[in-house]
């Protein structure tokens, strides 16, 4: 690159400005500066920059030749004198020209700076997530950033030059141009797109005058979508919370147990005491006597009442599934166990587990349960480490466990572990006072349920209830009253209304001495069992169990007697 050697005559303001400006050019070398005033500020600056200083223009021009001489002395005649001293090949720039040159250089520098700032601003504006749009005071769109296009899908060249009064009449910019005031938080749909946006717009004021307006808007479509998702999830969570609440809700308290007989009063008093203890309880009694009701009351009367009460019917679940139901399983523990599943013991942690029909538990599980009671820890199926649990166990059975122990179907050690406190609920036929009390309770309950106004039982109806054996106990009584009150039209329940339910009591017994053909008896018993437990598969399983026949035999007999089930 060609280097221009420069000399400066005059080290005042002009000389100093020249030094400052020309030093920045790579192809200009200031080789000397001259001034008769030793104190001239330009000389000090020159020394700092390593430029040779001279006492006069003559001495400088005599010792060196330059390509260009700047004369900035302010002396009108100086240029003429210098011209004489320099060769023709040296260009002489006088003070006025130098000034113009310096101004031009400064302007250029400023322009370069503005360009740089503009580029920086463009990067900043384009990296913003928000859309930005600038209009002049007439509403002509001057600028849109990349965020604008990203949100609206409209390219900049399709928008710049349009009038905002045409393309977005309801927008925030139009409002600002109309009012001259900022417009904040305006929700809108971006014109020409589906994007939901929220805009903040403000006037652009230059020298006290509004020259246009700018809007910054955010895409809130995603926020709206997420809000909807959140609402959906929240209502799901609320639903689950309700489920959990229901699981934890008190399903029965001692107040719900109807008992007028002294024998039941004793049982309740004992159970109330047992509730306060944390010991394992074994509830025994015939089917339908209220074992589950007592189990619930024991839980709600205990210190664990705010924690879950989890029930599991050991007879209703196939033996091979019961283990994972009780103790859970790890993911992949067996075919079909895709996810980790918590068992009832873990779900009941801190609360109570109610093991109904414990007499039907397989010997293998009896052994595992015994270990859980002893160690206070469980192991998930497929798991490797034991998990500590704090669960109170209440077990119930309508079977004679001592008999099961005798025939080797129930572990004696488990029996003693479970039978820490035994609550035995007598059958309904052994506590006649309760029959009428329960009947009165159910009349009230089903009056409310079916909008009836049944006042009570006739004396004969009461006698009938008292003379019945109640093989299905309280459950049977409840079912009879539910059906009777649903059907009754009068205000009193008469014996006629109850008769159809009592198979073994016949007003006009057609069979002599209560005898009847065996098959008819069998058919009646099956009908009765199905009435009692229902004709679902589970009901039939229970019915078969109550009749002490296999499920397959029950199905055969239903077919044989053409029973509707
Ligand atoms: N003393 C009572 N007071 C009020 N309701 C009772 C009473 N005893 C039982 N019940 C009601 O009778 C029905 C059967 O009771 P529950 O299910 O507790 O009997 P269970 O002995 O557990 O029967 P199963 O052995 O067949 O499981 C339930 O609706 C229960 O609320």
Res 398 pLDDT > 70:
yes
185 SS3 class: strand
Q: End of a domain among 201, 222, 243?
A: 222
Neighbouring C-beta atoms of residue 191, cutoff 10 Å: 17
Query: CATH number, domain at 174?
Result: 3.30.450.20
Contact 336, 292 (CB under 8 A): no
248 part of a folded domain? no
Cβ contacts of 441 within 8 Å, gap of 6 or more? 258
Neighbouring C-beta atoms of residue 545, cutoff 10 Å: 20
Residue 189, burial from CB neighbour count under 10 angstroms (0-12, 13-18, 19+): middle
Q: End of a domain among 383, 407, 426?
A: 426
Neighbouring C-beta atoms of residue 501, cutoff 10 Å: 18
Give residue 1's pLDDT. 65
Reading the block at residue 132, the tokens are 């930005």
309 part of a folded domain? yes
274 part of a folded domain? yes
Separation between Cα atoms, residue 245 and residue 479, nearest integer Å: 28
39 part of a folded domain? yes
Query: CATH number, domain at 8?
Result: 3.40.50.720
Give residue 456's pLDDT. 94
Among protein residues, the one whose CA lies closest to atom 7 of ligand 1: 290
Do both 420 and 496 map to the same domain?
A: no
Give residue 117's pLDDT. 92
Cα 167 versus chain centre, distance: 41
Give residue 247's pLDDT. 62
Do both 268 and 416 map to the same domain?
A: yes
What is the average pLDDT score of the chain? Answer: 90
Separation between Cα atoms, residue 482 and residue 474, nearest integer Å: 12
Tens-place pLDDT, residues 490-539: 899 998 888 888 754 444 444 445 567 788 788 888 988 888 888 888 88
445 part of a folded domain? no
Give residue 45's pLDDT. 95
Contact 366, 414 (CB under 8 A): yes
Cβ contacts of 375 within 8 Å, gap of 6 or more? 386
Contact 429, 438 (CB under 8 A): no
Query: CATH number, domain at 478?
Result: 1.10.8.60
Ligand 1 centroid from CA 158, angstroms: 77
Q: Which domain holds residue 75?
A: 4-106
Ligand 1 centroid from CA 291, angstroms: 6
Separation between Cα atoms, residue 414 and residue 312, nearest integer Å: 18
Do both 29 and 63 map to the same domain?
A: yes
119 part of a folded domain? no
Cα 198 versus chain centre, distance: 26
Do both 199 and 295 map to the same domain?
A: no
Is the distance from the beta carbon of residue 398 to the nearest atom of ligand 1 less than 6 Å?
yes
Do both 419 and 294 map to the same domain?
A: yes
- Please tell me which residue, 2 or 417, carries the higher pLDDT value: 417
Do both 297 and 417 map to the same domain?
A: yes
Q: At what angle do helices 518-533 and 473-487 cross, to 10 degrees?
A: 80
pLDDT range class, residue 335, cuts 50, 70, 90: confident
Ligand 1 centroid from CA 472, angstroms: 10
Res 388 pLDDT > 50:
yes
Do both 305 and 176 map to the same domain?
A: no
Is the distance from the beta carbon of residue 293 to the nearest atom of ligand 1 less than 6 Å?
yes
Residue 150, burial from CB neighbour count under 10 angstroms (0-12, 13-18, 19+): middle
Do both 366 and 467 map to the same domain?
A: no
Ligand 1 centroid from CA 293, angstroms: 6
Do both 290 and 408 map to the same domain?
A: yes
188 part of a folded domain? yes
Res 359 pLDDT > 90:
yes
Please name the residue ranges forming H helices in 428-513: 432-450, 459-467, 473-487, 495-498
Reading the block at residue 457, the tokens are 């039982």
Query: CATH number, domain at 320?
Result: 3.40.50.300
Ligand 1 centroid from CA 473, angstroms: 8
Do both 405 and 465 map to the same domain?
A: no
432 part of a folded domain? no
Contact 272, 315 (CB under 8 A): no
Is the distance from the beta carbon of residue 258 to the nearest atom of ligand 1 less than 6 Å?
yes
Do both 93 and 137 map to the same domain?
A: no
Do both 50 and 145 map to the same domain?
A: no
Lowest model confidence (mean pLDDT) among 66-75, 246-255, 347-356, 479-488? 246-255
Q: End of a domain among 382, 404, 426?
A: 426
Is the distance from the beta carbon of residue 473 to the nearest atom of ligand 1 less than 6 Å?
no
Contact 171, 199 (CB under 8 A): yes
Among protein residues, the one whose CA lies closest to atom 24 of ligand 1: 287
Separation between Cα atoms, residue 344 and residue 353, nearest integer Å: 7
| Domain count within the chain | 4
Among protein residues, the one whose CA lies closest to atom 5 of ligand 1: 257
Find the radius of gyration of the CA atoms of the chain.
Answer: 51
Is the distance from the beta carbon of residue 291 to the nearest atom of ligand 1 less than 6 Å?
yes
């Amino acid at each position: 690159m060609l280097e221009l050697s420069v000399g400066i005559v005059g080290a005042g303001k002009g000389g100093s400005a020249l030094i400052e400006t020309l030093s920045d050019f790579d192809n200009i070398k200031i080789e000397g500066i001259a001034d008769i005033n030793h104190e001239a500020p330009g000389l000090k600056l020159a020394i700092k920059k390593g430029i040779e200083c001279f006492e006069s223009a003559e001495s400088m021009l005599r010792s060196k030749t330059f390509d260009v001489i700047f004369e900035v002395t302010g002396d009108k005649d100086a240029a003429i004198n210098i011209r004489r001293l320099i060769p023709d090949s040296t260009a002489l720039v006088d003070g006025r020209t130098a000034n113009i040159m310096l101004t031009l250089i400064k302007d250029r520098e400023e322009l370069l700076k503005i360009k740089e700032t503009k580029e920086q601003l463009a990067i900043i504006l384009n990296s913003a997530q928000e859309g930005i749009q600038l209009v002049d005071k007439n509403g002509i769109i001057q600028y849109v950033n990349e965020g604008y296009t990203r949100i609206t899908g409209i390219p900049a060249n399709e928008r710049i030059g349009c009038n905002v009064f045409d393309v977005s009449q309801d927008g925030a910019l139009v409002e600002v141009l109309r009012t001259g005031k900022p417009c904040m938080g305006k929700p809108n749909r971006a014109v020409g797109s589906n994007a939901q946006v929220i805009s903040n717009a403000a006037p652009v004021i230059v020298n006290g005058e509004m020259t246009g307006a700018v809007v910054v808007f955010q895409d809130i479509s995603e926020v709206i979508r997420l809000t909807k998702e959140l609402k959906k999830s929240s209502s799901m969570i609320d639903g689950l919370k309700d489920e959990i609440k229901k699981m934890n809700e008190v399903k029965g308290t001692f107040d719900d147990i109807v008992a007028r007989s002294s024998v039941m009063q004793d049982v309740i008093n004992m159970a109330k005491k047992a509730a306060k203890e944390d010991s394992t309880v074994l509830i025994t009694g015939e089917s339908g006597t209220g074992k589950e009701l007592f189990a619930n009351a024991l839980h709600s009367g205990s210190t664990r009442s705010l924690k879950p009460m989890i029930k599991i019917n050991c007879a209703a679940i196939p033996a091979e599934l019961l283990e994972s139901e009780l103790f859970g399983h790890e993911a992949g523990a067996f075919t079909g166990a895709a996810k980790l599943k918590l068992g009832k013991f873990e779900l009941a942690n801190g609360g109570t587990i109610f093991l109904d029909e414990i007499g039907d538990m397989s010997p293998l599980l009896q052994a595992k349960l015994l270990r859980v009671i002893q160690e206070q820890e469980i192991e998930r199926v497929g798991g490797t480490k034991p998990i500590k649990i704090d669960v109170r166990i209440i077990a119930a059975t309508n079977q004679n466990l001592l008999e099961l122990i005798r025939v080797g179907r129930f572990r004696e050690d488990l029996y003693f572990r479970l039978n820490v406190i035994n609550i035995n609920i007598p059958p309904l036929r052994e506590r006649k006072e309760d029959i009428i009390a329960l009947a009165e309770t159910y009349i009230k309950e089903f009056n409310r349920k079916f909008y009836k106004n049944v006042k009570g039982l006739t004396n004969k109806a009461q006698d009938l209830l008292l003379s019945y054996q109640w093989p299905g106990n309280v459950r049977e009584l409840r079912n009879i009253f539910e059906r009777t009150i649903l059907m009754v039209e009068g205000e009193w329940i008469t014996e006629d209304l109850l008769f159809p339910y009592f198979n073994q009591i016949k007003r006009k017994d057609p069979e002599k001495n209560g005898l009847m053909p065996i098959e008819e008896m069998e058919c009646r018993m099956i009908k009765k069992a199905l009435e009692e437990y229902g004709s679902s598969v589970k009901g039939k399983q229970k019915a078969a169990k109550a009749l002490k026949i296999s499920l397959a035999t029950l199905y055969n007999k239903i077919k044989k007697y053409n029973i509707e089930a």
